[in-house]
Amino acid sequence: NQTESSASTTSSEIDIGSSHHRYATIGSSTHPYLVCNNGEKSPSHNTKLVSTTNLLRSPPIIQQHHIEGICGNSSFGTRRLFTLDLNQSQFVPSQNINIKQRIENQHQIVGGGEIYQGELQVNQSVIPITIRRLLSNASVQSKISFFNEISLLTTLCHPNIIHAYGFCSEPSISLLIESSDATTIDLYQYLQHYKQAQPMETILYTTTVFFAVQISAALAYLESLNIYHRDIAARNCLVTTDLNIKLQDLAMCNEMYADDYVLITVANDIETRRPIRWCAWETICLNRYTTKSDVFSFGVLLWEILTMAERPHCLFDDDQVLLN
């Protein structure tokens, strides 16, 4: 074993078969950095962190011919789920929900609504959740759209997409979403922390590929259901302590990212906020979203990872971004 240490960061490297795991301590959390050699056999199942390694290995992963790019000729691939959990949307009694505090956000949620932090009580367990609540005076169209969203999100089942537990109808219609805990940060903050802790280094190439594979797996799953996300960015990817990625869509409600969403006028003179530095031109000019516009945003996200969370078009102001 080889150990390196500094004032703010400690790391170690452990040989496990054909793989190497580097551990870096950032703040109070320990994060593994995975190094894998393509073409080698997977380590045995009694080795540490084998589940993380298995996410990258050929046997449990289906290589799809239309997912190529950076992973096209290697052992990395996109995970395909052959079975979906298509249970009906889960109704949760209001007495099982404990609302903690409201999350203040500068930008109003589409359709009108509020975001809260809370807890879901299941048997003897308490699960942290995020609660999206529709306002009681919302329009009929907003209620229909929200019910459609609940019906959709509660049927999604993928390890790299944030989970929706169900909905509650009291005191108003609410969607209950899996929440991050104290050890989870978004990918933008993760990259920023790493850059500050080790300013002369960048994240290992295989770690960046590990991130990209998980995000592309989530997007491929959404595309298979003809669903587009509309806000693919590092800020919308949660990173757990074992480097698993969870795709979410709540970054717009975070004051930290208020400047990323610019008020623009799109087709039919509709005023709306868009993350213009991550958007394809047809989204900005025509208000058109497709899975292909998500691919464009995914490309910007890859750029964020490789540049350690640099701001896209950082030399341009918002007007110049729109002009170009």
pLDDT at 104: 66
H or E, element range at 35 = strand 29-36
Name the residue with higher pLDDT: 304 or 166: 304
Of 250, 130, 237, 117, which is closest to residue 184 (Cα–Cα)? 237
SS3 at position 61: coil
List, for residues 84-138, the tens digit of each pLDDT value.
333 456 788 888 898 888 876 645 555 567 888 899 888 888 888 888 888 878 8
Pair of tokens at residue 99: 């609302």
Give the distance, in angstroms, between the CA of residue 122 and the centroid of all CA atoms in the same chain: 25
Given the residues 85, 186, 231, 318, the one annotated as active site: 231
Average pLDDT over residues 202-226: 92
pLDDT above 80 for 9: no
DSSP codes, 135-176: -TT--HHHHHHHHHHHHHHTT---TTBPPEEEEE-SSS-EEE
- Is residue 281 within 8 Å of 293, Cβ to Cβ? no
pLDDT above 60 (res 218): yes
Decide: 207 and 34 in contact? Cβ < 8 Å.
yes
Strand partners, 76: none
User: What is the value of pTM for the model shown?
Assistant: 0.68
Q: Which of 310, 289, 96 is nearest to 202 (CA)?
A: 310
Phi and psi at residue 114, to the nearest 5°: -135, 155
* Higher-scoring residue by pLDDT: 223, 136: 223
Kindly give the interhelix angle for 291-306 and 205-224, rounded to the nearest 10 degrees: 170
CB 108 within 8 A of CB 120: no
Q: Look at residue 260 in the predicted model and tell me its pLDDT.
A: 96
Query: Do residues 214 and 55 touch, judged by C-beta distance below 8 A?
Result: yes
Is domain 2-81+183-323 classified as CATH 3.90.79.10? no
94-178: CATH homologous superfamily?
A: Phosphorylase Kinase; domain 1 (3.30.200.20)
* Stretch (H or E) spanning 284: helix 281-286
What is the rounded distance in angstroms from the CA atom of residue 266 to the CA atom of residue 272? 7
Contact by Cβ (8 Å): 131, 174: yes
Per-domain boundaries in the chain: 2-81+183-323, 94-178
231 is catalytic: yes
Query: What does the pLDDT look like over 38-76, one tens digit per residue?
Result: 333 333 333 222 232 222 222 233 333 333 333 333 223
Which pLDDT score, from 0 to 100, does residue 42 have?
A: 35
Q: State residue 191's pLDDT score.
A: 93
Residue 138: what residue type? Answer: A
Strand segments (E) across 97-209: 97-103, 113-122, 125-134, 164-168, 174-178, 185-186
> Are 177 and 130 within 8 A, CB to CB?
yes
CA–chain centroid gap for 224, Å, is 18
